[in-house]
Structure 1
């Protein structure tokens, strides 16, 4: 399609992408000032660019992901990845949740599997910022508390100040956090700044936080840190940890739960 055939919105988005490539980041306000569009239009442009190109949404703007790092994969794409391992991890995590517990579940495919295992439980409350997890538990005897916010379409997670304000009024017992990466230097991390902020808030309101992750996430660092490893009560994974992570766990008194095939 020639430049003359592009719509006004397409031309604006191409210009935004060109700016991102040159300067690395852009704010919504900068787009409003430069292109004379509304804030809503600027945010919609950034959402479309994130879906189609190497653009990462941040709070108040976006940045260019020219390094070819870990991409924000949709929930549907992640569902079939390492499924057997995730099922074992979910089973181990669910075994830590007992009657009377208030359990927090962030978004993610492994936590969705935990929710499926909890459907037949009684006397448990689940706090979640993930719409798909809340819907999975609908109709069960589980009491579900859903935080507010704006939904990210790739993960179905509700994020933003509205949800964080509500989280600040809650008391969560055991918090299970899905992550995109875990490493000694980066702690637990995720691709989305918005999800990282919400996860931080939920960890801050919990008595014990557990990172749930399969072996493909080990010694990887995603874009935004959620928490340092020492802020966690435990790790729930499918394989023995490498010495770097095992050493930190032992020194900090972090529980390590390994969901092995023999336990199935």
Structure 2
């Protein structure tokens, strides 16, 4: 059943004004059932007029600003990010050294590392310290720089200093990098130049690199390129990339790991 034009326009306007709403709020405001609201939001999401979230929706404009609003980003594509996080975690071995950048998808990885131990982690993600279990970590380091309060991250050099003030030479076994876009022409990119530089430095210090991106990130390049496609060893995502991108990734030697909705990841990082 098609969404009535009048309610469609009113619903889009209401979400745009509120920026972020729940199904319950919409059901009460429009005096319809929650199931009706869910169907309406599903249709509007398909038409690109709102963005469906777990339990509600956010406006398209709010999503455009979500780079700066972690509370909004945490509600976008939650199921996909959890599957990606679980699959990416299978690439992590106990007693290894990791670098993770800021992002909601890297937070999902951290939540799936409970069976590891002896991990050394370096990150600019302020939330990781509150998300990760102390039982699995040997050492946790935070890269310095300016603090982005809305994004709960730091932006600065990928470096740590000895007590004498000398920069240490950092290397890691695996860098887990969440990006804003993946494209055949633009490689991996994000909208913030300083973050792009930081992400690239993490990749340069890694023996292996896993890019984390849900399928909504298969889009045109964003402002700042992080790296060319061949700089990564893995792309961990929730759906098969489209044809041109899939071909470019294959030519670049990138292994595509897909966290399908109905399949569980095995210990090798390949969906069963």
Normalised to the residue count of structure 1, the TM-score between the two structures is 0.69
* Structure 2 spans left out of the alignment, 5+ residues: 1-62, 162-166, 265-272
The separation in 1 between residues aligned to 2:178 and 2:171, in whole angstroms, is 19
Deviation at 1:150, TM superposition (A): 1.4
Q: Distance in 1 between matches of 2:235 and 2:170?
A: 23
Following the alignment from structure 2 to structure 1, what is the Cα–Cα distance between the partners of residues 93 and 69? 31
Asked whether the equivalents of residues 174 and 208 of structure 1 are also in contact (C-alpha less than 8 Å), the reply is yes
Q: How do residues 55-94 of structure 1 correspond to structure 2 at under 5 angstroms?
A: 70-71=64-65, 72-94=67-89
> Does the CA contact (< 8 Å) of 2:143 and 2:156 recur in 1?
no
Number of residue pairs aligned between Structure 1 and Structure 2: 196
- Check if 1:157 corresponds to 2:153: yes
- CA drift of 1:184 comes to 1.3
Alpha-carbon distance, 1:168 to partner: 6.6
**Matching residue within 90, 105, 108 for 1:113:** 108
8 Å Cα contact 1:128-1:134 kept in structure 2:
no
Q: Give 1:105 deviation, angstroms.
A: 1.1
* Counterpart residue number, 1:186: 186
Return 217-226 or 117-126, whichever deviates more: 117-126
Alpha carbons 1:134, 1:146 under 8 Å: kept: no
Kept after mapping to 2: 8 A contact 1:122/1:141: yes
Shift in alpha-carbon separation, 1:126–1:182, aligned structure 2, 3 A: same
Which residue pairs with 1:205 in the alignment?
205
Please identify which structure carries the higher helix content.
Answer: 1
Give distance in 1, aligned partners of 2:185 and 2:129. 33
1:182/1:80 CA distance change after superposition, 3 Å: same
User: 1:1-264 residue pairs with structure 2 within 5 A?
Assistant: 70-71=64-65, 72-137=67-132, 139-143=134-138, 144-161=140-157, 163-164=158-159, 169-264=169-264
Structure 1 distance, partners of 2:106, 2:74, is 11
RMSD: 2.1
Q: Secondary structure at the match of 2:122?
A: strand
Structure 1 regions of 5+ residues with no counterpart?
1-68
